[in-house]
Each structure stands twice: as C-alpha cells, then as structure tokens.
Amino acid sequence: MIELIRTNDAVIISFVESLMRDAGIVFFVADQNMSILDGSVGILPRRVMVDADQADQARRILTDAGIANEIRRK
C-alpha cells in the first residue's frame, strides 16, 4: 500500500474515506489510534493508504473532488 494523503483534519479523512468507498478503492487509515496517545490534540497526522495499483485512480478522484492539494507526492 502507498500513502495517498497525510493530515490531521478529521473532516478530510472522512471525506476521502467516503470517496474511496464509493469508488470501490481498497484503502486503510493508518495511525488512526495514535490520536489517543496524543490526547486528541491532533499533532499526529493520520494517513490514508491505498493499493499501489489503484493509486492513480484514487489521485484522480481526489483531484476531481477539489482536494488535490492533500495528495502526497511520490
């Protein structure tokens, strides 16, 4: 799996999850439980990971959704 986005913004994470789910793209939110360790201060970003073979499609979806600035570059 490769990292698609990394952010502290729970709204963006939720939006990306929804987009990936709707498109049938396999994804995983890494470091989701790390926010418990930081006391929910939001200093530890979460990462949305996707299968490498679906990465280009996932990037296109985020670009079409207007959040291309969130995409992690290779």
CA 59 to CA 49: how far, in whole Å?
Answer: 12
What the block records as the tokens of 42 is 């939001």
The structure's pTM equals 0.85
Our CA dihedral for 55, 70, 3, 41, rounded to 10 degrees, sits at -150
The reported pLDDT for the residue numbered 26 is 96
Q: Which residues contact 39 (CB under 8 A, 6 or more apart)?
A: none
List domains and CATH numbers for the chain.
2-70 (3.30.70.790)
pLDDT tens-place string over residues 8-64 = 888 999 999 999 999 999 999 998 776 666 555 667 889 999 999 999 999 999 999
